[in-house]
Amino acid sequence: MQIYRVGGAVRDKLLGYPTHENDWVVVGSSPEQMLEHKFRPVGRDFPVFIHPTSGEEYALARTERKSGVGYGGFVFHTGPDVSLKDDLIRRDLTINAMAEDHDGSIIDFYGGQQDIDQKVLRHISDAFAEDPLRVLRVARFAARYAHLGFTVAPETLELMANIVARGEMSALVAERIWKETERALCEQSPDVFIQTLRDCGALKQLLPEVDALFGIEQRADYHPEIDTGIHTLMALQQSALITDKASIRFTVLVHDLGKALTPKNILPRHAGHEAAGLPLVAQICDRLKIPNQHRQLAMVVTEYHLICHKSLQLSSVNLLKLLTVIGALKSVEKLDDFLLCCMADAKGRKGLEHNTYQPNTYLRHALDAINDVQVSDIIATGVTGPAIGEALKLRQIKALDTFKQHYRS
């Protein structure tokens, strides 16, 4: 029995990149021998075992053969005759196909170290094209390592495009698409994930609502970058600078979907794009089974982000309505998330990246003014029943009137 650390932990060690888990491959063993060494079996499709003390996963070396359509259409073979080299060639990229033995020596059959030096994401063999999930995985790695200078090899991008052209992406179930997408949105350069999917044609199949934004003109005085798709990528870049929350990054990705539906005769204006975008956001959330937390934030930001940008001009009545509808009166976290999304939108524009987003401070202070109004003070005056709510609203509006006067003075 020979045991090797493989995959991401080896790759990230060579990159000096933080890693938090190990993958292990066992060569020359069998399920029976693993059980004798007190490993606990967990795998169904192929033998995977849990180490009796570390709790980490150890997989028997295996080969695989394409047997159907999609990422699940494979037959696996394990046995003492399967070598480390046989096991590693079934992986996706050269940088993911290296191993480390017990004394720290790197075993690299397929040029992973060279591709790390050259900062290239390159497939190992043409068998790469048998698994459509790898399109998403490569795009995710591109998003993870773009800041280090990594790019996708042209021949690998071509294979990804071939997978898309064959219609294999349709074999991916919603849960897997969303899992990879959410992980990619949380990488350092989530915009690169979207751009890479677009480069190989996958974005049009997986997120057609987002793909449709590219080429849609906007007013240059508000959007010097002009193109709505480019703005979306820039806003996504900004979201990555200010938060690591997937719900916020997803929301920024979809906040302008309605602009793709703008009638051509009114371009580059986009009157009503907020309401127009709501069904599209719901459509993506339904199709990919996106968590409710993400959905709720995306819907409220899509509908109210322009009002947020103009919040300093709102009357006290409408300011209270805005804070109420985004849930700020019940949860400061809802206000925080909403403002971060709107800030990313405002900063995701050519030449405006370093501007101060005034609504961020303004709405927080406005909420403080509202929270200073206490229901107990109203009840103490003898008001009862439904009249309490009416009186509370009037006092909140009055508090906002005072706040607005002092804020502008």
Q: Which band of pLDDT confidence, cut at 50, 70 and 90, is reported for residue 88?
A: very high
d(C-alpha 42, C-alpha 293), whole Å: 31
How many Cβ atoms sit within 10 Å of the Cβ of residue 308? 24
Q: Does domain 207-364 have CATH number 1.10.530?
A: no
By CB atoms closer than 10 A (0-12, 13-18, 19+), residue 6 is buried
Q: What is the pLDDT of residue 71?
A: 52
Q: Which ranges in 45-173 belong to alpha helices (H)?
A: 84-89, 112-118, 133-145, 154-165
pLDDT of residue 303: 98
Higher pLDDT, 72 or 111: 111
For residue range 300-338, what is the model confidence (pLDDT) as tens digits?
999 999 999 999 999 999 999 999 999 999 999 999 999
pLDDT tens for each residue of 374-392: 888 888 888 888 889 899 9
Residue 153: Cβ-neighbour burial (10 angstroms; 0-12, 13-18, 19+): middle
38 conformational bin, left if phi > 0, alpha if psi -120 to 50, beta if neither: left
Query: Given this model, what pLDDT does residue 130 score?
Result: 87
Measured CA to CA, the distance from residue 117 to residue 156 in angstroms comes to 17
Tokens encoding 100: 């480390």
- pLDDT tops 70 at residue 167: yes
Per-residue pLDDT, 45: 64
pLDDT digits (tens, 9 = 90+) for 141-155: 999 999 999 999 999
Rounded to 10 degrees, the C-alpha dihedral 7/13/17/22 comes to: 50
Number of residues that this document lists for the chain? 409
As a whole number, mean pLDDT of residues 332-358 equals 97
Burial status of residue 258 (CB atoms within 10 A of its CB: 0-12, 13-18, 19 or more): buried
Average pLDDT over residues 129-147: 96
- Percent of the chain exceeding pLDDT 90 equals 79
Q: What Rg value do the Cα atoms of the chain yield, rounded? A: 26
pLDDT > 70? residue 352:
yes
Q: Where are the domains of the chain?
A: 207-364, 372-408
Confidence class of residue 73 from pLDDT cuts 50, 70 and 90?
low
Look at phi and psi of residue 94 and say left if phi exceeds 0, alpha if psi is from -120 to 50, else beta. Answer: alpha
51-71 per-position pLDDT tens digit? 999 889 899 998 876 655 555
- What is the average pLDDT across 74-99? 88
